[in-house]
Amino acid sequence: MYSVFCDELEKHTGRAAKFGVVHAVLNRLEEKGLVNSSLGESTSTRGGKHKRYYSVTSAGKAALLKSKEVRDGLWHLISAFALKTSL
């Protein structure tokens, strides 16, 4: 799962993501209640290890929306400042 996520992340951002970093971030998000995880079935391709699945919680969705609002507000300020200084 991590390898697919890391590949997609690199494709969209142009930056490589390391497995350990993704794992650490997911653990922190889970500790903060922003994501939940559950164990799936074990598979022979994973040496009998269980897959861990993550889902975003309601608090996680609210945090994402808040982050987007802050980011959009900052871009609006930057655009307004750029227009004023370019005149």
Average pLDDT, integer, range 16-38: 92
pLDDT tens-digit series, residues 34-63: 999 999 888 887 788 888 899 999 999 999
* DSSP secondary structure string for all residues of 61-74: HHHHHHHHHHHHHH
- Give the pLDDT of residue 2: 60
pLDDT over 90 (residue 30): yes
Rounded CA separation 87/75 (Å): 19
- Give the pLDDT of residue 1: 56
3-state secondary structure of 48: coil
Residue 34 token pair: 């922003």
pLDDT over 60 (residue 12): yes
Residue 72 token pair: 């959009």
Q: Domain spans of the chain?
A: 1-56, 58-87
Residue 69 token pair: 């609002």
- The model carries a pTM of 0.72
- Residue appearing with tokens 């996680």: 60
pLDDT above 90 as % of the chain: 43
